Amino acid sequence: MERTLSIIKPDGVAKNIIGEVIKRFESAGIKIAAMKMIHLTKSQAQGFYAVHKERPFFDSLTDFMTSGPIVVMVLEGENVIAENRKIMGATNFKEAEEGTIRREYATDIEKNVVHGSDAPETAAFEISYFFNHLEIQSR
Ligand code: RTP
Ligand code: MG
């Protein structure tokens, strides 16, 4: 069983589609092992996205991620890192496949509704950034 970190970004929460996003995960057989709503500070967003700190979009991205509450979740399932990214669709919603979350709901390359870890190492870092082991229920 694999785990990944999923975030419903501030635009997704503002659009009132938390349930829509979760329904897609559950319909695909993915289990939610942990979940909470938080509002990141700038320095917390910078720490989470530290891998992108040299990118031109870093400041804008960390501003956006602190612009409102987010929902952070640990997803669990077979091959869930790749499965989640398939359900999310490409970073740029214009390139995302039909039926994906980003194709359906994203409005911008930055405001793209969801985040998902991209590899086992990043998933481990990202999960531990938000949750301790007592907050994660394997089921
Ligand atoms: P994420 O990390 O959020 O799951 O998205 P991703 O892997 O598909 O994309 P990544 O390359 O890791 O970029 C992280 C987030 O930064 C914003 N972004 N803006 N303005 C731009 O060119 C640009 N490129 C990326 C997006 O919010 C992207 O999800
Ligand atoms: Mg990424």
Whether 67 lines ligand 1, by a CB cut-off of 6 Å, is no
Please give the distance of CA 135 from its chain centroid, rounded to a whole number: 18
- For the stretch 88-124, pLDDT in tens is 999 999 999 999 999 999 999 999 999 999 999 999 9
Phi, psi of 116 (to 5 degrees): -145, 140
**Atom in ligand 1 nearest the alpha carbon of residue 118:** 7
Q: Cα dist. 63→38, 42, 58, 95 in Å?
A: 15, 7, 9, 24
Strands (E), the chain: 2-8, 31-38, 70-77, 114-116
Q: How far is the CA of 42 from the centre of ligand 1 (A)?
A: 17
> Is the pLDDT score of 44 beyond 90?
yes
- For the stretch 10-42, pLDDT in tens is 999 999 999 999 999 999 999 999 999 999 999
* Catalytic residue status for 52: no
DSSP 109: S
Q: How far is the CA of 101 from the centre of ligand 1 (A)?
A: 14
Range of the structural domain that residue 108 is part of: 2-135
Question: β-strand 114-116 against 70-77: which pairing, if any?
Answer: unpaired
Domain at 31, CATH number: 3.30.70.141
> Is the pLDDT score of 139 beyond 90?
no
Residue 62 marked as a ligand binder: no
Number of structural domains (the chain) is: 1
In this structure, the residue with its CA closest to atom 15 of ligand 1 is: 110
0.95 surpassed by complex ipTM: no
